[in-house]
Amino acid sequence: MERFIIETERLFITEFDEGMIESVHKNSLDDDIRRFVPDEVFETVEEARETVLFLIDCYTKETGPFVYPILLKDSKNIGYVQAIPTEADDWEIGYHIAKEHTGNGYATEAVQAFLPAIMTRLGIEKIEGTCLRENPASCAVLEKCGFILEFSGAGKYQGEIRNIRRYVYKMS
């Protein structure tokens, strides 16, 4: 299978390699990850290593999850964008930008570039996005990228019932 690489004006979205393990560990420790996606915190480098190696292996499968690091043009890893299968056999997008790089439009730029590429690769016409209502920045990214709000209220998030917003994006 051909290596997944997307280039935007300021970013590269590519596949993980073992040289990114330290940056994955470091990026996973910021307060926003702990607050909004605690299952993506890697307290040790070894936890990050196990996850990165698992994600690299997923690139060879059709079932995902498909998680790709977001790199600045100088190759600094600043986050990730992903397509993950849901319990309902749909796909959901996820993304995170390390706190020191938020507020620069990187998440929006990455998601806009990622959507057509991953949807084509997966052969899907729609993809969901879910965020906590208490995370307005994440909701704004989805809205800027053309996602439509379908549900707002109590729903399952990270294995708990939380106040969420669920969006859907459809290819036109």
Residue 41 confidence class, pLDDT cut points 50, 70, 90: confident
Please give the helix or strand (H or E) that residue 78 lies within, else none.
Answer: strand 77-85
pLDDT confidence of residue 143: 97
DSSP string, 96-142: EE-GGGTTSSHHHHHHHHHHHHHHHHHT-SEEEEEEETT-HHHHHHH
Whole-model pTM: value is 0.92
Class of domain 6-170: alpha beta
Task: Spell out the domain ranges in the chain.
Answer: 6-170
pLDDT confidence of residue 37: 81
pLDDT at 29 over 70: yes
CB contact at 8 A, 83 and 118? yes
pLDDT at 151 over 80: yes
